[in-house]
Amino acid sequence: QGVYPIDRPTRTLTAMLARAGGIIIPPETAVITVTRGSHQGRIWFQDLYQRPSFDIALRNGDRILVQEDTRAFTVLGATGAQNRVPFQTQVLSAVEALAIVGGLNTNFADPTGVFVFRTEPAEIANAVLGRDDLVGDQRFVYVLDLTGPVGMFHARDFVIRDQDLVYVTEAPYVAWQKTLTALTGATGAAASIRSAANGGS
């Protein structure tokens, strides 16, 4: 961090970043913000090197901020882990999001019930529902069935966004097992009480 003069070797954004010592955060999640007067522009660090046209010429007074991506999603349900997870790449698919937390729990998960809860802006909500009367943010639930013929492809193409909630439901037999356990547990407890009462008489 510091104040650096703009001269011939450092007149571009990439050259100035190099002059300042480069970045110390993962390149995959590094975001570059340039503030010029009252205007701001943002770009992913990786895109900066992949698209030379974004390597702008700097001007006096420009401020450059390098920060790690702050986006995150939450995973709940029958997965390997349940947590709030930061993005690890610029674009993250539903399959990759599940893989980050250890995938579906093979003993409990229902692969036909992967839900993504999201708040969509009105323009997207109207487009998805074929309407034009919705105003303001709308709550949506997208359902992914990983067992269908193209289910995995849909999950691979479904992009996770900031603040999404991914919920994996339990398989029906798991709920049945829990019911049986509750019933047999209660029955066992009642039998123990009867046995104790009989033994004491």
Q: What is the pLDDT of residues 26-44, one digit of tens each?
A: 888 899 999 999 999 999 9
pLDDT reading at 201 higher than 80: no
According to the model, what pLDDT value does residue 113 have? 87
Q: CA 116 → CA 74, 85, 130, 145, 196, distances in Å?
A: 10, 14, 20, 11, 51
Calculate mean pLDDT across residues 125-153: 92
Q: Of 40-44, 92-96, 174-178, which range is least confident?
A: 174-178
Measured distance CA(187)–CA(96) in Å, rounded: 44
Quote the pTM value. 0.72
With cut-offs at 50, 70 and 90, classify the pLDDT of residue 62.
very high
Percentage above 90 pLDDT, the chain: 56
pLDDT reading at 92 higher than 70: yes
Strand partners, 104: 79
Per-residue burial over 88-102, b if 16 or more Cβ lie within 10 Å, else e, is eeeebbbbbbbebbe
With cut-offs at 50, 70 and 90, classify the pLDDT of residue 199.
low
Calculate mean pLDDT across residues 5-32: 90
With cut-offs at 50, 70 and 90, classify the pLDDT of residue 1.
confident
94 backbone φψ class: left, alpha, beta (φ>0; ψ -120 to 50): alpha
Calculate mean pLDDT across residues 16-33: 91
- Can you read off the two tokens belonging to residue 15? 């050259």
5, 29, 24: which is closest to 16 by C-alpha?
5
According to the model, what pLDDT value does residue 97 have? 94
